[in-house]
């Protein structure tokens, strides 16, 4: 090679090395071989947050305000925020421990027991994260959308199974315990980030994307917001979900009074606010505030809604460039999100984060299954026990008729995961009584639909021949669930007809209710010796 060519080769190599070095300096900071402040776990939290934001482009900031934000390889930001549900166990493709629904937990009136349950749930959630396991929305993240602390003021509401009932004090006590169990007890790191739902005055599924709840100010603070305040001030919840609905004409996702003046100004909330799924889009197609995504996004950001599931990523840059919202407001929203991310330890070496050592063996562990059984037993409510009819003495029984649609196909409730050791009421009774007692099962009817005379006749025959009949009645997800309110409180389908026919055949009938929202059981109350609410 000629000297001139050698010189050019050396120059090209030096330029290449310089480019690589300049990229390293951009990440690590000028004149430093140490990690940048945001990657240094010994730096103060606020310095780490500010340092990272200062290195991000507007497009990178917008992408980070997406609820399932992808990894940013340039800045070594992991994909950490994938959300999930854990109302009564983890919503997962992998078997985990399934607990009773929250309305059943509420029936225990036991905050310590609720916290034990969410301690177990959060252990399993961290173990799944450590395994990099897949959930319904990709890799399991560390932000869990629970608890639901809305109040069941209308007993026809379809999501009563997800909440703690109609009393703000009880919902507040159980909500605080729930949040503490999810988020853990380490002074520096969060086990999970708990998202309180749905802020606020959310008590109706029909029209929820467009309706406006009209609420006097005193009622708003003393009833609808009291349990949220407890979970923020005492429980230190790190995330709040803005509800779909409006309050007094202003949608929650753009409600400055709600998200900034009350939540942050009065209660001192330090976490981030996320819209409900599609909530920013519904500002346009539901509430008709605007037809422009960038305007909807700008209004939500200015009100204090920090994170979104679809609109922010694409519309934030356009909104900033159009002058609808300043980049400073975007930075404020991002800072709230990043504070939680740093406290979850996603930027730190695993050895610094105590929860990274939670092993896979905790998932569906025997101790957790025992805890689920204890919670279920504590939740059952004895509504009637005439003349000490219960408990039944197995030694005195020769035959039992197990009847009802809920005896073989009980509902787990909204957002349930995989239950690997499912035991139906019919099977549980058979296991408990053993081979010496004849147990016959007849569904009698479906949860919904008209009566089938053949099915009812079979149930009546079994009941007539049995020493005692145990009738399992209630509701399922097609009756009450997210997006589905009830029109009345009657037992659905032909269950009332089945009830009366069975009791006429055998007055020694125990009725067990497996439902979430209340059901009318006036006839049963007057005609059966024992009645239980088992959820």
Question: What amino acid positions are annotated as catalytic residues?
Answer: 276
Angle, alpha carbons 184-364-190 (nearest 5°):
15
Map 414-444 to HEC letters. Answer: CCCCECCCCCCHHHHHHHHHCCCCEEEEECC
User: What is the largest distance, in Å, between two alpha-carbon atoms of the chain?
Assistant: 110
The single-letter DSSP state of residue 352 is: G
Question: Under 8 Å CB-to-CB from 73, ≥6 apart: which residues?
Answer: none
CB atoms within 10 A of CB 198: 26
Pairing mode, if any, of strands 134-135 and 138-139? antiparallel
d(CA 427, CA 410) in angstroms, rounded, equals 12
Scan for tokens 């067990």, then name that residue. 512
User: Strand pairing partners for 135?
Assistant: 138
Q: How far is CA 341 from CA 53, 74, 75, 237, 239, in A?
A: 13, 18, 14, 14, 11
* Exposure string for 230-249, b = 16+ CB within 10 A, e = fewer: bbbeebbbbbbbbbbbbbee
d(CA 150, CA 534) in angstroms, rounded, equals 22
- Where does residue 528 rank: exposed (0-12), middle (13-18), buried (19+ CB within 10 A)? buried
Scan for tokens 């790190």, then name that residue. 238
Pairing mode, if any, of strands 468-474 and 399-403? parallel
Q: For residues 80 and 121, is the Cβ–Cβ distance under 8 A? A: no
Residues in the chain: 535
d(CA 321, CA 148) in angstroms, rounded, equals 37
> Phi/psi at 515 (nearest 5 deg)?
-150, 180
Residue 166 DSSP SS3 = coil
Residue 220, both tokens? 């708003």
Q: For residues 243 and 276, is the Cβ–Cβ distance under 8 A? A: yes
Residue 502, both tokens? 């069975």
In 209-315, beta strands by DSSP E: 212-213, 239-242, 246-247, 250-251, 272-275
d(CA 506, CA 155) in angstroms, rounded, equals 32
Question: Under 8 Å CB-to-CB from 229, ≥6 apart: which residues?
Answer: 172, 267
d(CA 371, CA 115) in angstroms, rounded, equals 11
Residue 325, both tokens? 């919202």
d(CA 94, CA 184) in angstroms, rounded, equals 23
């Amino acid at each position: 090679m000629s000297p001139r060519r050698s010189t050019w080769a050396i120059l090209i190599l030096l330029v290449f090395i310089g480019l690589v070095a300049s990229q390293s300096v951009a990440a690590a900071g000028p004149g430093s071989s140490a990690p940048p402040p945001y990657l240094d776990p010994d730096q103060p939290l606020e310095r780490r947050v500010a340092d990272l934001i200062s290195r991000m482009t507007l497009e990178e900031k917008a992408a980070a305000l997406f609820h399932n934000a992808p990894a940013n390889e340039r800045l070594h930001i992991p994909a950490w925020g994938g959300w999930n549900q854990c109302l009564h166990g983890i919503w997962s493709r992998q078997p985990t421990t399934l607990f009773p629904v929250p309305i059943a937990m509420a029936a225990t009136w036991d905050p310590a027991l609720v916290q034990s349950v969410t301690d177990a749930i959060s252990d399993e959630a961290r173990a799944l994260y450590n395994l990099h396991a897949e959930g319904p929305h990709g890799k399991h993240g560390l932000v869990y959308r629970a608890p639901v602390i809305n109040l069941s003021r209308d007993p026809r509401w379809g999501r009563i199974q997800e909440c703690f009932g109609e009393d703000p004090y009880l919902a507040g006590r159980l909500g605080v315990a729930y949040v503490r169990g999810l988020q853990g007890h380490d002074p520096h790191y969060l086990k999970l980030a708990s998202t309180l739902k749905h802020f606020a005055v959310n008590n109706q599924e029909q029209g929820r994307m467009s309706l406006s709840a009209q609420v006097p100010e005193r009622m708003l603070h003393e009833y609808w917001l009291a349990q949220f305040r407890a979970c923020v001030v005492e429980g230190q919840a790190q995330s709040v979900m803005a509800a779909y609905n409006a309050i007094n004409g202003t949608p929650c996702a753009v409600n400055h009074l709600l998200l900034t003046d009350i939540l942050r100004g009065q209660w001192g909330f330090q976490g981030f606010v996320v819209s409900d799924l599609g909530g920013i889009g519904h500002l346009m197609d539901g509430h008709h505030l605007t037809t422009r995504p960038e305007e909807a996004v700008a209004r939500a950001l200015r009100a204090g809604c920090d994170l979104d599931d679809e609109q922010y990523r694409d519309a934030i840059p356009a909104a900033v460039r159009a002058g609808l919202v300043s980049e400073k407001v975007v930075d404020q929203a991002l800072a709230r999100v990043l504070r939680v991310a740093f406290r979850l330890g996603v930027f730190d070496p695993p050895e610094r984060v105590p929860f990274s050592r939670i092993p896979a063996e905790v998932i569906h562990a025997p101790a957790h299954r025992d805890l689920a059984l204890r919670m279920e037993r504590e939740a059952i409510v004895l509504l009637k026990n005439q003349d000490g009819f219960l408990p039944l003495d197995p030694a005195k029984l020769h035959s039992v008729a197990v009847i009802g649609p809920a005896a073989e196909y009980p509902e787990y409730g909204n957002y349930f995961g995989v239950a690997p050791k499912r035991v139906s009421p019919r099977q549980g009774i058979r296991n408990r009584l053993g081979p010496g007692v004849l147990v016959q099962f007849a569904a009698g009817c479906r949860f919904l639909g008209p009566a089938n005379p053949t099915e009812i006749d079979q149930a009546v025959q079994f009941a007539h021949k049995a020493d005692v009949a145990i009738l399992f009645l209630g509701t399922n997800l097609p009756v009450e669930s997210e997006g589905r309110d009830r029109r009345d409180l009657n037992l659905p389908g032909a269950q009332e007809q089945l009830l009366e026919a069975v009791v006429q055949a055998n007055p020694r009938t125990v009725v067990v209710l497996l439902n979430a929202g209340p059901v009318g059981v006036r006839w049963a109350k007057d005609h059966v010796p024992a009645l239980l609410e088992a959820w």
